Amino acid sequence: MAEGNLHKMKATLGNPIEYRLDLSEELLMNDFIGKEIVLKWGGRINCKNCGKVTKKSFGQGFCYSCFISAPEAAECILRPELCRAHLGEGRDPEWEEKHHNQPHVVYLAASSAVKVGITRATQVPTRWIDQGASAAIRLAEVPNRFEAGRIEVALKDFFTDKTSWQRMLKNEVDDSIDLEEEKWSLEEQLPADITEYFSENDEIIELDYPVDEYPTKVKSLSFDKLPVIEGTLMGIKGQYLIFDGGRVLNIRKHTGYYVEIC
């Protein structure tokens, strides 16, 4: 048995991807696939930023005080076009300089449709795995988060920036998607101040998830409604544990929840 506060699973690219959950000990979650597991939550939640006990989690793991003050929960996390790190501004300029005024990648990811997204360059391919993409390609490489957000906004006229988590977990993939073709078809449709950042790297990263059986219907589980979650682990995709019966648990959503697993 292991116990501790939940954090998003660490993922390592492989065939298949390897997932690790860090509690009182590090668990290779792939080893549990096909087996019965039990997760128990006793009602305790710790803020992932300050560690204090909180009655409710905000923004995937913050207490309310940190949610309204921590740079990790700033508005530019969801709307990178509002980032001001390149100007030396933000909730915490020193933190912003280290994390947001750094090289970022704008990418196209394939699942049930083509999705546009951004991530810090050091988070490739981790970000793609966390979103449950079936494949991804670099579209543009930029010096900071603001520029990445500016390009993402321009691309919303062509692609979605949302992932349908239900379709992702059912593995509904559009096999006709050609990410390289989608990428370069944009070259003549976008202004030069965007295409100048286009990446020459056309490698398409295929992502293979450790799943024995994908569900045909999905039902989201929550510790707030069901403090004991148990069943056969059928697979892992994105940051979801997939149980028998199409039941799924979003680990990242429950960041800070103190659980036991056995």
In this predicted model, what pLDDT tens digit does every residue of 216-244 receive, in sequence order? 999 999 999 999 999 999 999 999 999 99
67 within domain boundaries: no
Check whether 28 has a pLDDT greater than 90: yes
- Residue 23 covered by a domain: yes
Same domain? For 172 and 230 the reply is: no
Question: pLDDT band for position 160 (50/70/90)?
Answer: confident
Q: Is residue 6 scored above 90 in pLDDT?
A: yes
95/130 same-domain check: yes
**What residues contact 184, with CB distance under 8 A and at least 6 apart?**
none
Q: How many domains does the chain have?
A: 2
* Residue 68 belongs to some domain of the structure: no
Q: Is residue 6 domain-resident? A: yes
Helix/strand/coil (H, E, C) string of 44-65? EEECCCCCCECCCCECCCECHH
pLDDT (0 to 100) of residue 98: 97
Q: Do the Cβ atoms of 132 and 248 come closer than 8 Å?
A: no
Give the pLDDT of residue 85.
Answer: 97
The last residue of a domain, from among 186, 206, 226: 206
When pLDDT is cut at 50, 70 and 90, the band that residue 154 belongs to is very high
pLDDT mean across residues, the chain: 97
pLDDT class of 209 with cuts at 50, 70, 90: very high
Residues of the domain holding 145: 74-206
Please indicate, yes or no, whether residues 164 and 104 belong to a single structural domain of this protein. Answer: yes
What average pLDDT does the segment 119-137 reach? 97
Q: Is residue 198 part of a domain?
A: yes
pLDDT for residue 1: 85
Q: Give the span between the Cα atoms of 190 and 186, in whole angstroms.
A: 6
Whether 198 and 108 share a structural domain: yes
* Element housing 41 (H / E): strand 36-45
